[in-house]
Structure 1
Amino acid sequence: MALADWLAFNRLPGVGQRGRLALLAQFDEPARLFAAGSGAWRAAGLGGKTLEALQGGPAALLTEDDRAWLAQADTEVLTWNDPDYPPLLREVPDAPVVLYLRGRRELLGSPMLGVVGSRSPTPSGAATAQAFAEHLSLAGLSIVSGLAAGIDAAAHRGALAGSGRTIAVMGTGPDRIYPRQHHELARQIAATGLLISDYPPGTPVRASQFPQRNRIISGLSYGVLVVEAALQSGSLITARLAAEQGREVFAIPGSIHSPLSRGPHKLLREGAKLVETAQDVLEELGPLHGALQAAVGNGPAAAATAAPTDPEQAQLLGVLAYDPQPFDLIVKHSGLTPDRVSAMLLNMELDGWVASCPGGRYCRVPRGA
């Protein structure tokens, strides 16, 4: 029943994460807290709904969702007192006392890097996130992100295409996949990576939970890489938390005309490390670099300089920028007919060299990190 006590403790009303940590410092484990009695509870400053819940005992706090989670063969519960609790996350002032896991628990002992960004990235931004994540995962890092649409999903997919080591920190209960269209992605992550949440099973989607989730992304990681983000993006919250936690903050610069470049540029002005390649990230990680460097040569390093074998396509690719360009401008700079450019762009998009963007624009897709 020890794990059941922890799950009940995680549902204790009127107590935040810092309060739970304070109670553990005093009582050591939930079982001792529940057995302490009302005198000890009041001496600890507890009252109201918290006192009432403690008097009902752990069984009264457990829900059917908790019991179902404990009964499944492929789920786990990691507690504050477990020796496998990630040491970096333990340093966070409001670290979770319980983590619900599905997947490869051992990844919590690996070196981790957070990759975050816009939920509505440009095609180039999504491709960049995926390429960086693939390369860095092959270099020995587990890629941590939030399972959200956009850059998060691209980072997870990149890591899955690389070593498979990726950790999705959920902003809902561990049994609630959000967004819904990521059920298959979550299944793939659970197979070779790890799904984690500090919210109890059955916890639905609430907007306030996602900024709270970000402290775990940064808390697990040696650093956080921001790919594309608007000024009001939650990714900047993650970057701020990383800086406060003493972690590295990396940012990829972009076009001065793109709103999604303003977040990374703000971080760069505030002291974030500018990176253009995955190797830049590895070198900035300092002591980790030597250990990870040996694996880098196995990654897709040469892809960035590759070009289509067809001479005309290579010529057209040289005209295209990584920022979206209007079709008329591409035709003008290429010297080719509109029909020829249109046909070539379609073929190059199918081959992954080009992405179509809103407003009839096209951009070049990064092919490596």
Structure 2
Amino acid sequence: MEHTAILWLLLQQQLNIPPARLRALMRLVACPRQLPGIDPQQLQQFVLQRFGEDAASQQLLDQRLRDDIVESLADTGAVQRLVEQLQAADCQLVSLADSDYPWLLSEIADPPPLLFLRGRRELLAATMLAVVGSRRPSRRGEQDAYAFAGALAERGFTIASGMAMGIDGAAHAAALEQPSRSVAVLGCGVDTCYPRRNQALYGQLAERGLLISEYALGSPPLPHQFPRRNRIISGLSVGVLVVEAATNSGSLITARQALEQNREVFALPGSIHNPASRGCNALIRQGAKLVETLDDIYEELPALPAAGAAERVAVDAAGAEPALLALLEFAPLSLESLAARSELPVPSLLAALCELEVSGWVEQCRGGWQRCR
């Protein structure tokens, strides 16, 4: 645990320093103990270079703040309490001033000055690709997320996501089976599991992956914190793959932030009849890369080796399509309508549908049955 990161946390909590100001101070010096004695000319030069001629050095570090910093840093009891709190929660801390702060994240407009960590800290240096999407995906969407995340992790990517239900959870689960593992960025403290139904996944990420949050220990999962955390998911990653997202999905916030951060955005296309695909289809219309195979991702990331045909993730075309599929659509069809179309007895029809479901061709949903592929 970096001692300087603890000192930055102490100043943030005791002096209520806003994130933007704290970031500037971290870029000014490596250790907060240097702040009270910094040369005024050095300070003024830094402010001019970073904020322009209209900025005043006193707005960043005036004498009152210098005195407050001296007083706070002299409180060794408070420092020790913070250390004990982090140790009790099995957490670590990294600051923007630390050498192992993720360099991609440090380049975004508003990187979090402090990150709370639980798990494998060395994953901060990994090459990450985010996989995000609907909390209520179709079965096929969940399968696609699992397949793509697993294949990307097998090729060396560490998969980043938000540990939500649905697509996030499937992506984490697949990546955790590979050595490159997975990173989850939380919208609450890293000592809090949200949603609670992902308790098992939370434990696996803490043991074999990495949990990250900019929010202090004990912070509850408040709604406004999740859009903010999405910028970290995209900021950590070289690109973002969106798998099923409605038009009002938080995944689209992540995609928009990725574009603002000059990251690659990829999207899996879906049926025009599936509301969960409209966000992905809209992203593709707006310029996101349409993805059908891993090669579609690799060709936008030339630093990585291209996948061979055997490694492609795509619709399984092996074997002829079952005849019953011709009667199904990519929108729900009631059992009664399907029975009328097929002229099959209902028991025989249900048996055939169950076989197709096991094979991944169809899924049962509200309103009946529909094709997955």
Task: Tell whether the structures are fold-level matches, with TM greater than 0.5.
Answer: yes
Q: Compute the displacement of 1:172 (Å).
A: 0.6
- What is the rounded CA distance, in whole Å, between the counterparts of 2:82 and 2:372 in structure 1? 44
Q: 1:222 and 1:231, CA in 2 relative to 1: closer, same or farther beyond 3 A?
A: same
- What is the rounded CA distance, in whole Å, between the counterparts of 1:302 and 1:241 in structure 2? 27
In angstroms, what is the RMSD of aligned CA positions? 3.4
Q: Which amino acid aligns with 2:265?
A: V
- What is the rounded CA distance, in whole Å, between the counterparts of 1:8 and 1:306 in structure 2? 60
Q: Which amino acid aligns with 2:58?
A: A
Query: Residue 200 of structure 1 aligns with which residue?
Result: 216
* Correspondent of 1:265 among 281, 286, 302: 281
Q: 209-218 or 223-232: which moved more?
A: 223-232
* Correspondent of 2:316 among 295, 304, 308: 304
Q: Which amino acid aligns with 1:240?
A: R
Q: 1:4 and 1:161, CA in 2 relative to 1: closer, same or farther beyond 3 A?
A: closer
Q: Compute the displacement of 1:25 (Å).
A: 2.6
Q: Where in structure 2 are the equivalents of 1:346-361 lying within 5 Å?
A: 346-349=354-357, 353-359=361-367, 361=368
Q: Under a length normalisation based on structure 1, what TM-score does the superposition of the two structures give?
A: 0.82
Query: Residue 221 of structure 1 aligns with which residue?
Result: 237
Q: Which amino acid aligns with 1:287?
A: A
Q: 1:286 and 1:149, CA in 2 relative to 1: closer, same or farther beyond 3 A?
A: same
Cα pair 1:12 1:61 within 8 Å, conserved: no
* Correspondent of 1:8 among 7, 10, 13: 10
Q: 1:351 and 1:265, CA in 2 relative to 1: closer, same or farther beyond 3 A?
A: closer
Local SS of the residue matching 2:110: coil
**Does residue 1:231 correspond to 2:247, yes or no?**
yes
Residues 21-70 of structure 1: CA deviation (Å, up to 9, x unaligned):
1122334323334787xxx9x934468x9889747515587696763223
Cα pair 1:10 1:97 within 8 Å, conserved: no
* Structure index of larger Rg: 2
Q: Which amino acid aligns with 1:356?
A: Q
Q: Under a length normalisation based on structure 2, what TM-score does the superposition of the two structures give?
A: 0.82
**Does residue 1:363 correspond to 2:370, yes or no?**
yes
* Correspondent of 2:86 among 51, 69, 72: 69
Alignment length (residue pairs): 354
Q: 183-192 or 212-221: which moved more?
A: 183-192
Cα pair 1:75 1:100 within 8 Å, conserved: yes
Q: Compute the displacement of 1:281 (Å).
A: 1.3
* Correspondent of 1:342 among 328, 347, 350: 350
Query: Residue 23 of structure 2 aligns with which residue?
Result: 21
Q: Which amino acid aligns with 2:85?
A: A
Local SS of the residue matching 1:135: helix
Residues 270-309 of structure 1: CA deviation (Å, up to 9, x unaligned):
211111223211222222244xx37x84x575872346xx
- What is the rounded CA distance, in whole Å, between the counterparts of 1:121 and 1:34 in structure 2? 53
* Correspondent of 1:131 among 105, 126, 147: 147
- What is the rounded CA distance, in whole Å, between the counterparts of 1:9 and 1:305 in structure 2? 59
Q: Where in structure 2 are the equivalents of 1:144-155 lying within 5 Å?
A: 144-155=160-171
Residues 207-260 of structure 1: CA deviation (Å, up to 9, x unaligned):
111111011100011111111222222111111111111110111221222222
Local SS of the residue matching 2:176: helix
User: Bigger relative contact order, structure 1 or 2, given CA contacts below 8 A and separation 6+?
Assistant: 1
Where structure 2 has 5 or more consecutive residues not aligned to the other structure, the ranges are 44-56
Q: Which amino acid aligns with 1:362?
A: W
Q: Which amino acid aligns with 1:331?
A: A
